[in-house]
Amino acid sequence: MNALPSKYANWLVHLTAWAVVFGMPLFFTGPNHPLMNGTEYLRFLIVPLSFMVVFYTNYFRLIERYLFARRPGRFLLSNVILISITMIAIHLFFKYILPPDSLHPPLHRPWQHSVRFFAGNATLYLLVVGVSVAIRMTGGWYRAEAERQKLEYNHTKAELQNLKSQLNPHFLFNTLNNIYSLIQIDTNRAQQVVHELSRLLRYVLYESSQATVPLKAEIDFLKDYIELMRIRQPHHVKIFVSLPEDPSQKPIAPLLFISLVENAFKHGVNNDKPSYITISLCETDHSLNCTIKNSYFPKPASDRSGSGIGLKNLSKRLEMIYPGRYRFQYGHDDQTYTAILNIQFPES
């Protein structure tokens, strides 16, 4: 069964609260307090009805017009006038329209008692105003918070899509460079690689457009990409890869590890010096751990290939998708660059 919409649930609370107030005479009956007759109950109703007038005048009109507009002086003055008019109207109603009967003769008070009597009633009306303000401001805060979260979600979703759109051409740029190098070495193999590239691009352009993909699909994509990158490497480059042999179908955000792999091939290979790249991905019941180490050969400042956006985009994506459920570290010493990414799976 679907829950009531918040608007109707809110009014259900109002109706319940006023039903309790108007039904109070029923809760205080007994041998010494018989049930009220019609006239007595009518006299009782006047005060709660006046509370409703003060409450909803503030709830629908004064709070929005003055408090939300940051005009507290006008708000206080309006309530002083409203409460004064309400109290005078009730006093005249009880005096001329529904005067006390013989069983309830009017009380003759000195003026000091009358002042205290009206001050006490004014305090009750001020409490009603306070309750109205608290309920309206709390409801307004919840609505504003819900709207803020909705806007933040839409903004995050749009930013995430923008990051993916940056990643796709970045990935394609590096891959086309590999095929260009291969054409000069082995034309037949280059044609085969173009076919493999089409499979990789299909994953990047279509499957990765989903919020999550099966972990197995992501790892298969990494295997294909690493093999594609391995083709153009000279013989003195040692590449060690350890990926799960039988990965699970757990959902994971797509294209999380490709930036780390690209970065390793970009900075870990030198055409003249011994180089190595170690890629390790391990799945447990509760987490996914990726560690990539490579020899460190930084590109000169004039080399803008890739433009360094990969790791920055990855950091933003992780914060948006896995806030509080990931650990991402990367850095280098004189000879080694290390990147470690740990993602905690949500509890099932």
Check which CATH number belongs to the domain holding 213 and give it: 3.30.565.10
Based on the fold, state whether residues 245 and 328 are members of the same structural domain.
yes
Please check whether residues 138 and 240 belong to one and the same domain: no
132 and 176, same domain (yes or no): no
In terms of domains, do 203 and 301 share one? yes
Q: In this predicted structure, what is the pLDDT of residue 3?
A: 43
Q: Are residues 128 and 226 in the same domain?
A: no
Residue 1 lies in a domain: no
Tell me, what's the pLDDT at 216? 93
Asked if residue 154 belongs to a domain, the reply is no
Residues 120 and 181 in one domain: no
Please tell me whether residues 75 and 203 are part of one structural domain: no
Parts of the chain with a pLDDT under 50: 1-4, 306-307
Host H or E run for residue 308 = none
Domain that holds residue 330: 163-344
Asked whether residue 10 is domain-assigned, the answer is: yes
* Total number of domains constituting the chain: 2
In a domain, 156, yes or no: no
Task: Please report, to the nearest 10 degrees, the dihedral formed by the alpha carbons of residues 181, 184, 186, 190 taken in order.
Answer: 50
Do 239 and 121 share a domain, yes or no?
no
pLDDT at 307: 43
The pLDDT assigned to 155 comes to: 67
Task: Tell me the whole-structure pTM to 2 decimals.
Answer: 0.54
345-348, Cβ contacts within 8 angstroms, sequence gap of 24 or more: 345/250, 345/285, 345/286, 345/287, 345/288
User: Both 132 and 175 in a single domain?
Assistant: no
pLDDT at 334: 82
Tell whether 132 and 254 lie within a shared domain. no
Asked if residue 115 and residue 20 are part of one domain, the reply reads: yes
Paired residues of 330 in beta bridges: 339
